[in-house]
Amino acid sequence: MTKTLIVLVGPTGIGKTELCLSLAQHLNTEIISSDSRQIFKELKIGTAAPTKEQLELVNHHMVATHSVNDYYNAYEFEQDVLKLLEKLFDNHHQILMTGGSMMYVDAVCKGIDELPTIDPELRQEVMDLYNNEGLEAVRRQLKMLDPVFYDQVDLKNHKRVMHAVEVCLMTGQPYSALRTNSARKRPFNILKIGLDMDRDELYSRINQRVDIMVEDGLFEEARSFYHLKHINALNTVGYKEIFAHWDGEYDADKAIELIKRNSRRYAKRQLSWFRRDKEINWFHPAHKEEIIKFVDNKLI
């Protein structure tokens, strides 16, 4: 039987974890997380990391493998997962990978160009520019350093804009010149499944999940590393809003409201990204039996 990586994607809060557990048990296989924040062992509640019970049901990989103090990127993830897959395919014909981090998914499926590790001082300089003068100042710098990528990038995505500026300054070359955008051939088949649902239903699920996170101790979890709020790993939805609350920008209720809003916006961006991939087969997460049947037929 041909080795196959089954990739399950979808927006935050849609139910990827539950479905992937069912699929993994059905196929008697293991799960690789492609969530760029679940790799950090400190971030459990705010990233909806698999619970102790879920981890005991199915063997998981790339969960809680690093500290928030570690620098980690999509290229490193690609290399780590490809090495991991070599070992896992020795014992399984199919492996599952699930998560909503778009760049991490694409890194494994298509490959990503190796980019330099950014010097911490340089990264702080770009962060200071963003914090002191705003995103528009970083955009202007990108336009000057790399007008080609400036015309391609989502100018509202401050992380992408800032990272491109960092790479330009670090290498002395345009970011666009370092990206080949050519898909690598993998020594295994890839079957992609996407989860989607009506927007009102999805947004309701996201709001409810945030409420559960708060009840489970999200604020207390964030408090334990408030002193590290400047670290890139913590510049993420669910934590940055709480940090801003403690900085006196707004009250706790407003922080929760913003976590919900920003989670919904992130889900919209995820869907827009994944929708561009014509290899993805789309399903409603409630149609578990249909999805399992679809996978079985594809693996014959």
Same-domain pairing of 105 and 195: yes
Same-domain pairing of 66 and 169: no
pLDDT of residue 166: 92
Question: What's the whole-number mean pLDDT along residues 91-107?
Answer: 93
Same-domain pairing of 99 and 142: no
Same-domain pairing of 288 and 212: yes
Give the residue among 217, 174, 192, 175 at the shortest CA–CA distance from 275. 192
Same-domain pairing of 33 and 95: yes
Same-domain pairing of 129 and 239: no
Same-domain pairing of 141 and 69: no
pLDDT of residue 152: 86
Q: Determine the structural domain holding residue 210 and report its residue range.
A: 4-113+188-299
Residue 194 lies in a domain: yes
* Per-chain mean pLDDT for the chain: 92
Residue 295 lies in a domain: yes
pLDDT of residue 96: 98
Same-domain pairing of 93 and 192: yes
Q: Which of 131, 147, 178 is the last residue of a domain?
A: 178
Q: What is the CATH number of the domain that holds 34?
A: 3.40.50.300
Give the residue among 61, 82, 4, 42 at the shortest CA–CA distance from 228. 42
Same-domain pairing of 129 and 251: no
CA dihedral angle for residue 274, residue 279, residue 284, residue 286, rounded to 10 degrees: -120
Tokens matching residue 3: 């080795």
Q: How many domains does the chain have?
A: 2
Residue 290 lies in a domain: yes
Q: How far is CA 7 from CA 16, 47, 220, 281, 288, in A?
A: 11, 19, 33, 10, 15
Q: What percent of the chain has pLDDT over 70?
A: 99
Same-domain pairing of 68 and 169: no
Give the residue among 162, 136, 137 at the shortest CA–CA distance from 149. 162
Tokens matching residue 257: 């409201």
Same-domain pairing of 58 and 194: yes
Residue 183 lies in a domain: no
Same-domain pairing of 95 and 195: yes
Question: What's the whole-number mean pLDDT along residues 193-210?
Answer: 97
Q: Which of 158, 178, 198 is the last residue of a domain?
A: 178
Under a CB-based contact definition with an 8 Å cutoff, are residues 97 and 6 in contact?
yes
Question: Confidence band (pLDDT; 50, 70, 90) for 181?
Answer: low
pLDDT of residue 1: 67
Residue 152 lies in a domain: yes
d(CA 131, CA 138): 10
Q: What is the CATH number of the domain that holds 132?
A: 1.10.20.140
* pLDDT > 90? residue 279: yes
